[in-house]
Amino acid sequence: MSDTNKNRIITVIDIGTTKIVVLVAEYNTEENKISKIIGLGDSVSDGLNRGVVVDITKTINSVTKAVEMAEEQSGIEISDAFVGISGDHISSLNYSGVTSIQSGNQNQAIGNSITDEDIEKVQELAADINIPPDRRIMHVLPQEYVVDNQEGIASPLGLSGRRLEAKVHLVTSSINTEQDILTCLDQVGINVVEFILEPLASACSVLNQDEMKLGSILIDIGGGTTDVISYANGSVLNTGVVPIGGATITNDIAYRVQTSIEQAEELKRKFGTSNLEESNEDDNITVKGVAGRNEFKISQKILAEVIQPRIKEIFELSKEEIKKSDFNGDYTFGIVLTGGGSKLDGIVKTAYDVFNMPIKKGEPVNDFEIENSEINIFDPRYATAIGLVKFVGQNLNNYNKKSRSTLIDDIKEYLKDLFK
């Protein structure tokens, strides 16, 4: 982050399996909100698999391309950034903590007024769990508070009571995975201010307050993984990761059609559908020959026979993640699909067949000014990047309380303890 008069420059990086996206934004310090997107960098991700670095050199090159593009558009030299991560190294659980409210006179008939310190303390107690030494708590997400057995309280600040309980959703990540990403970004000359769970970001971009309050489930189909996050009563009920994404479908097509990954991706984007029943049976799609082979023709139905089972598998596994929330209420707004994979033809019908609830495609709600006409982010594949900007803007004051080196110091401390 850097300052320009009344504006603070914020950079976010969406590190995915198939793409790297860098957004540079201006944060208006007088109005306390993001005001403008001034730079976009977008490059093919090479060197990651399902959110994990598998080739440091290739990852560095991919990030460098996206960063340089964003710097050129924005005219800003990027030195630090908030980084979105996901992958099957992420895990989560629901937990709770309880504390007595200590302020005021303990002999008085009525309870004591709950302070910020009480809330901070009970959140710390809720996060005080035993986790493996190679994992770190990324987020402590309050679900609800209970004051003297009164449940369903969203914000207990200022209420009176003697006992405060916090029910939270905890998100943990692999320290080694984070360290590998830190290493890559350090080589590019970027300090990581904080890691942010990408489904949280996508939800900020795609879901509105009514959807979060009355109940909805966001399924973000990315390249390497599919992220699932469910909301009710304005809080996160559960987060989960399915280790299958659009790249898996591309590989399936390449194997079935016997063509290259690049050609398979093009076939998926141009002609792919998950609606097998309504797919075209005519052999009218030309496939370029590879490795000296002649070109040939296939039908859309052949693609659908590959795509539909895999999409159904993604949704069935997503359903299992949703069940982990133990939520017995209704998701009034049903399922919202986003991410690059959601652009696939027929996917809404396939989702309805699996979930039997309202389904819609969600596009990022962009309420920022766009400085450069070349910046086109009105696309589901940019939902996470836009959401990262919004999430940071909404929580910037909390990050300002932390030292910039806090994240790196924490990870170094974890690693030191791990190898004692």
User: Which DSSP string do the residues of 283-335 spell out, in sequence order?
Assistant: --EEE---TTPPPEEE-HHHHHHHHHHHHHHHHHHHHHHHHTT---S--TT-E
Q: How confident is the model at residue 257 (pLDDT cuts 50, 70, 90)?
A: very high
Cross-strand partners of 232: 235
> 């050199």: which residue's tokens?
57
Q: What are the CA-CA distances from residue 221 to residues 22, 228, 314 (Å)? A: 19, 9, 9
Query: HSE-up of 364 (CA within 13 Å, CB side)?
Result: 25
Query: pLDDT digit string (tens) for 6-37?
Result: 789 999 999 999 999 999 999 988 888 898 99
Q: What is the mean pLDDT of the chain?
A: 90
* CATH number of the structural domain 209-363: 3.30.420.40
Query: pLDDT digit string (tens) for 317-332?
Result: 999 999 998 888 899 9
Name the least confident of 32-36, 193-197, 245-249: 32-36
- Mean pLDDT of the 111-132 span: 92
CATH class name, domain 91-172: alpha beta
Query: pLDDT digit string (tens) for 382-392?
Result: 899 999 999 99
Q: How confident is the model at residue 4 (pLDDT cuts 50, 70, 90)?
A: low
pLDDT of residue 381: 86
pLDDT of residue 5: 60
Q: How confident is the model at residue 407 (pLDDT cuts 50, 70, 90)?
A: low
Q: Would you put residue 51 in left (φ > 0), alpha (ψ -120 to 50) or beta?
A: left
Under a CB-based contact definition with an 8 Å cutoff, are residues 79 and 8 in contact?
A: no
pLDDT of residue 109: 58
User: Which DSSP string do the residues of 153-209 spell out, in sequence order?
Assistant: ES--TT-EESEEEEEEEEEEEEHHHHHHHHHHHHHHT-EEEEEEEHHHHHHHHH--H
Does 292 score more than 90 pLDDT? Answer: no
> Residue type at 241?
V
pLDDT of residue 247: 94
pLDDT of residue 405: 47
Under a CB-based contact definition with an 8 Å cutoff, are residues 250 and 222 in contact?
A: no
How much is the pTM? Answer: 0.90
Under a CB-based contact definition with an 8 Å cutoff, are residues 336 and 231 in contact?
A: no
Question: What are the boundaries of each domain within the chain?
Answer: 91-172, 209-363
- Alpha-helix residue ranges (DSSP H) falling in 222-299: 246-257, 261-271
Does 230 score more than 70 pLDDT? Answer: yes
Stronger pLDDT, 415 or 214, i.e. the higher one: 214
pLDDT of residue 305: 97
CA distance 144 to 88: 27
pLDDT of residue 404: 45
pLDDT of residue 2: 52
For residue 263, report the phi and psi dihedrals to the nearest 5 degrees.
-65, -40
Query: HSE-up of 298 (CA within 13 Å, CB side)?
Result: 23
CA distance 154 to 234: 8
Which uninterrupted H or E stretch holds 384? helix 383-400
pLDDT of residue 403: 47
Query: pLDDT digit string (tens) for 50-107?
Result: 889 999 999 999 999 999 999 999 999 999 999 999 998 999 999 999 999 865 555 5
pLDDT of residue 416: 58
